[in-house]
Structure 1
């Protein structure tokens, strides 16, 4: 049995990704909150829901997906059942040191998933405390593997991993919307324009993931001399596309 405290944007996305990609919903227990969000998700996915953290004593690992303002109270309540359990917190402010101090008898980790975990295509960075054994890391990976990639990184890199992988779906959505607008401008109907842009993003991402070439080399394969693609790339550079992306990451990372 695995447990979740918090079924909001990230917690709910991870739970959805697990169930939709084959994890047994009967092996998931989720603590409900004051809103009906967890109950609505339970009606859709079929996991077990409880109202108190102490009712999750059979769950291991336990994943925390609450906001920063609720983290301290959750950790305080969780302490009584956390002995020898694996606890993974998705909350941005939940450093390994903070988790270790609050739950000294648990094996703690800090992870930052992105929203595509909901469809099994997520990218999650994770930092484990020194207490973790290889087998315990494999236990976490066996769960999170249903939601996409899980990559262990040093904690100082966890924030930028979270920014690059976590904020960028919004950046990509904006790019897809802009491509669609351009398609409509040149005569495509809106649905076809969106389908073309989304299909491109899926295909290009899959090619970049599976290719031995880096993205720069893949770009070079498409940009034939004097062709339309290199003219488009030149226009992107002229209007600051690359700098705009870097500045967007800078701005998000500064928060």
Structure 2
């Protein structure tokens, strides 16, 4: 599979790292066009993928990913239009805010388009990607796109009407978890644990707790109750979190993003 990707910022860079880390895609089979920031050049020096400034080079790839910011999606499609119409290469946008229908207005309803929202853990092949497909995409085109994302972690096909909230949860959520991890580590450091140990314990705890939920299929509330013994230390900690509005703050963070 020859992959073309325009944009090598946080998300594009995470995808490139994930593909190479998977060993399923070789550096020579990733073609990247970056912007003016120099990020793509710096990443290329580290990872050895193919770098180009010539948009016409993308006529030689099997699938094209747009990992640029939302305002640049449609201008980039306009730049690629001649190549895309001529080659019919499947096109995937990984930016929020531009629906498939808007892209089809430029490329036509028959064009093989997907709209996907991955997240940054894709760089270690543990991402989760929500993906929607144009109605008329064929099975081979769909398989090509899903295979590329499977190299990066778990994928979920989701209706485009829900991809915004999916992206908020999956895409913004890691930053919320990072704040939680930092705070947990701070609490342990406050009571004498060294910073490195505190961060390692917090990270393993969050990762293992999430995996326990996924593997057992139990509701998180049930798993919480299994730890919170009557009158015990855990329920006292939970009470302190509830007193500070922990649940509401978390729900409100997602709600605020969706309303922005």
TM-score (norm 2): 0.94
Please report how far the alpha carbon of residue 230 of structure 1 lies from its aligned counterpart in structure 2 after TM superposition.
1.5
Q: Which one of the candidate residues 42, 47, 55 is aligned to 1:45?
A: 47
The correspondence for 1:174, drawn from 176, 179, 187, is 179
Q: In the alignment, which residue of structure 1 is the partner of 2:72?
A: 70
* Distance in 2 of aligned mates of 1:194 and 1:145: 29
Q: How far 1:127 sits from its partner (Å)? A: 0.9
On the 8 A contact 2:111/2:137 being kept in 1, the answer is: no
Match of 2:244 in 1: 239
The aligned counterpart of 1:153 is 158
**Other-structure match for 1:86:** 90
Per-residue CA distance 1:183-202 (angstroms, 9 max, x = gap): 01111111111111111111
What is the deviation of 1:3?
0.5
Counterpart of 1:4 in structure 2 is 5
CA distance in 1, matches of 2:10, 2:259: 22
Name which of structure 1's ranges 111-120 and 132-141 shifts more when overlaid on structure 2. Answer: 132-141
Report the aligned-residue RMSD. Answer: 1.3
- Separation in 2 of the partners of 1:33 and 1:186? 46
1:252 alignment counterpart: 257
1:111 aligns with 2:112: no
Deviations 1:70-95 (A, max 9, x none): 22221111111113221000121221
Query: Does 2:201 correspond to 1:192?
Result: no
> Can you list the C-alpha shifts for 1:36-62, whole angstroms capped at 9, x where unaligned?
211111111111111122111011210
Aligned to 1:59: 61
Q: Deviations over 1:87-118 (max 9, x none)?
A: 00012122101111122263111111111111
Whether 1:14 and 2:50 are equivalent positions in the alignment is no
Give 1:33 deviation, angstroms. 2.3
2:60 aligned counterpart, secondary structure: coil
What CA distance in whole angstroms lies between the structure 2 residues aligned with 1:80 and 1:253? 35
**Number of residues of Structure 1 aligned to a counterpart in Structure 2:** 255
| Distance in 1 separating the partners of 2:136 and 2:26 | 28
Query: For residues 167-210 of structure 1, what are the alpha-carbon distances to aligned partners after superposition, in whole Å with 9 as ceiling and x for unaligned?
Result: 11111011111111110111111111111111111111221221
Alignment of 1:35 onto 2:37: yes
Displaced runs of 4+ in structure 1, greater than 6 A? Answer: none
Q: Distance in 1 between matches of 2:111 and 2:63?
A: 10
Question: How far off is 1:229 after superposition?
Answer: 1.0
Q: Which runs of 5+ in 2 are unaligned?
A: none
The TM-score normalised by the length of structure 1 is 0.96
Distance 1:103 1:9 in 2: 27
Please state whether the residue corresponding to 1:82 is helix, strand or coil. Answer: helix
Residue 242 of structure 1: CA displacement?
0.7
